[in-house]
């Protein structure tokens, strides 16, 4: 008898089969550890009647806590608790791990980096993650760069593709062995292999955008991984490879979005027809239009990854609410008067101070004079400020903002000035005017495009 989580995995495989066979169906994959984003994503999945596919990246969540300070077990518990509170059943949820591999430890020698990557995979499987993206594509300490011929064979990798395939099998072995240790009936892992050209997190590649993965490189890599799995006795795991990550020319950067152009990815779409069961996973689909997302689904990108665009919307809502707060505390809102004893949140000021104090997560991404950098820290499409929301001082400023705005109802004229779409929903009676609900609604407006593109009209 299949467990509820097993049924969720089967539902995911049903989508993959249908997409390969030509049905315009796909699944939004939300890659974020921000609680507001998670709740908004779960609400959208519930309302759409679809699968809530929620993933954490190797940088966000790992056995050391990642930049969020959260382990895979804690992340899984958080998602399940949120889902239960929203009335979602276990068979509505799939947990996934994105870019599971040695990326966080890539500066270390290969042996130690891969040992930590195996531990990350084990921790995710033990926590109940069932969609596992195996990604050892990056060079590690002591690795040689590929020869020109090898790089031409698989242009998506900065490492010899045979090494990538061998390490993929190594990580798969860790996942399979861990799954075998779980109680009988635990759902088997489903695997995604391959990677897009940029590093995890979204990063534009020049003025022309990223190069599209060639179909020949995809074929070669699939053959290499299949052979590597067979050589290590993992033939059964190969049957659970549900997608391959390729680069269809979709990317975003600090100020640019590279839109999907189907005519440039015809070879990839054709290859999916020719290889039994093949579908793709598109990363960095943030800021794409609904039309572009629909075209990706039509061209066999069954999984649409999104993350920074959701925390960008989260940031937009918070900054707008801080504008509301300023008027409320100053007594400038019609008929409201000032909130007695309210201490201003100074959210944006606190966020920028945290980013300037520790520029680790943005200094390699933003360029320009101080005014340009200040603007990028707040408004860049790369949304590097997402790394700073978990900081205690930033979280404290956010919580103070929410408390200040929860003291009294926000007048419609003030709400309409700063969050017009949310004001319209409040006036229509479809949205409560609490600051938390307003934030989730702003995030949900982005996710609606993904559900529409995936067939949940």
379 three-state secondary structure: helix
Side-chain-facing half-sphere of 139: CA atoms under 13 Å: 11
- Give the containing element (helix H, strand E) for 318: helix 308-329
Interatomic CA distance for residues 251 and 203, integer angstroms: 7
Alpha carbon 392 to its chain centroid, in Å, reads 23
pLDDT band at 147 (very low <50, low <70, confident <90, very high): low
Nearest to 455 by CA among 22, 30, 24, 92: 24
What's this model's pTM, rounded to 2 decimal places? 0.93
Nearest to 166 by CA among 113, 108, 114: 114
Nearest to 54 by CA among 77, 28, 74: 28
| pLDDT exceeds 60 at position 29 | yes
Residue 198 DSSP symbol? S
Instruction: Evaluate whether 187 touches 129 at the Cβ level (below 8 Å).
Output: no
196 three-state secondary structure: coil
Report CA torsion sign: 32, 36, 38, 41: negative
Which residues pair with residue 56 across a beta bridge? Answer: 97
Interatomic CA distance for residues 353 and 108, integer angstroms: 31
For residues 5 and 10, which has the higher predicted lDDT (pLDDT)?
10
Side-chain-facing half-sphere of 79: CA atoms under 13 Å: 32
Q: What is the pLDDT of residue 91?
A: 83
pLDDT band at 122 (very low <50, low <70, confident <90, very high): very high
Alpha carbon 378 to its chain centroid, in Å, reads 20
Report CA torsion sign: 256, 348, 392, 35: negative
Q: Strand pairing of 257-258 and 251-252?
A: antiparallel
* Continuous H helices in 248-307: 266-274, 290-298
pLDDT band at 156 (very low <50, low <70, confident <90, very high): low
For residues 348 and 207, which has the higher predicted lDDT (pLDDT)?
348
Which residues pair with residue 243 across a beta bridge? Answer: 192
Interacting residues of 95 by C-beta distance below 8 A, sequence separation 6+: 54, 55, 75, 76, 79, 127, 128, 129, 130, 131
Mean pLDDT score of the chain: 92
Q: Strand pairing of 251-252 and 131-134?
A: unpaired
Instruction: Walk me through the domains of the chain, giving residue ranges and CATH numbers.
Output: 4-306 (3.20.20.70), 312-446 (1.10.400.20)
pLDDT in tens, 34-77: 999 999 999 999 999 899 999 999 999 999 999 999 999 999 99
Helix axes 392-406, 435-453, angle to 10 degrees: 110
């Amino acid at each position: 008898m299949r467990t509820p989580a097993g049924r969720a995995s089967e539902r995911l495989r049903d989508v993959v089969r249908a997409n390969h066979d030509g049905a315009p169906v796909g699944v939004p994959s939300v890659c974020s550890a921000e609680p507001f984003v998670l709740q908004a994503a779960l609400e959208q999945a519930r309302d759409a009647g679809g699968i809530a596919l929620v993933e954490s990246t190797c940088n966000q969540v790992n056995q050391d806590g990642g930049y969020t300070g959260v382990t895979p077990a804690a992340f899984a518990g958080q998602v399940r608790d949120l889902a239960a509170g929203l009335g979602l059943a276990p068979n509505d949820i799939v947990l996934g791990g994105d870019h599971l591999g040695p990326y966080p430890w890539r500066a270390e020698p290969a042996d130690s980096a891969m040992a930590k990557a195996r531990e990350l995979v084990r921790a995710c499987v033990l926590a109940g993650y069932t969609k596992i993206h195996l990604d050892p594509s990056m060079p590690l300490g002591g690795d040689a760069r590929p020869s020109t011929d090898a790089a031409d064979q698989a242009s998506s990798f900065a490492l010899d593709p045979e090494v990538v395939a061998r390490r993929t099998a190594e990580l798969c072995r860790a996942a399979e062995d861990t799954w075998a240790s779980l109680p009988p009936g635990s759902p088997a892992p489903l695997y995604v292999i391959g990677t897009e050209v940029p590093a995890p997190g979204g990063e534009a590649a020049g003025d022309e955008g990223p190069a599209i993965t060639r179909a020949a490189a995809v074929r070669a890599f699939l053959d290499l991984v299949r052979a590597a799995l067979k050589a290590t006795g993992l033939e059964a795991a190969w049957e659970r490879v549900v997608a391959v990550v390729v680069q269809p020319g979709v990317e975003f950067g600090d100020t640019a979005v590279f839109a999907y152009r189907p005519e440039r990815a015809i070879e990839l779409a054709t290859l999916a027809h020719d290889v039994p069961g093949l579908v793709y996973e598109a990363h960095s689909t943030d800021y794409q239009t609904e039309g572009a997302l629909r075209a990706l689904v039509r061209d066999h990108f069954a999984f649409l990854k999104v993350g920074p665009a959701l925390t960008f919307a989260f940031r937009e809502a918070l900054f707008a609410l801080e504008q509301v707060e300023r008027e409320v505390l100053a007594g400038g809102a019609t008929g409201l008067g000032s909130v007695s004893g309210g201490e201003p949140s100074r959210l944006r000021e606190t966020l920028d101070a945290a980013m300037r104090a520790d520029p680790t997560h943005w200094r390699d991404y933003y360029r320009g004079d101080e005014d340009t950098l200040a603007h990028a820290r707040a408004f860049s499409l790369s949304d590097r400020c997402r790394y700073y929301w978990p900081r205690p001082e930033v979280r404290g400023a956010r919580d103070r903002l929410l408390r200040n705005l929860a003291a009294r109802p926000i007048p419609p004229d003030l709400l309409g000035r700063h969050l017009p779409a949310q004001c319209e929903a409040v006036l229509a009676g479809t949205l409560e005017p609490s600051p938390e609900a307003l934030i989730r609604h702003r995030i949900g407006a982005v996710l609606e495009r993904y559900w529409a593109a995936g067939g949940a009209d």
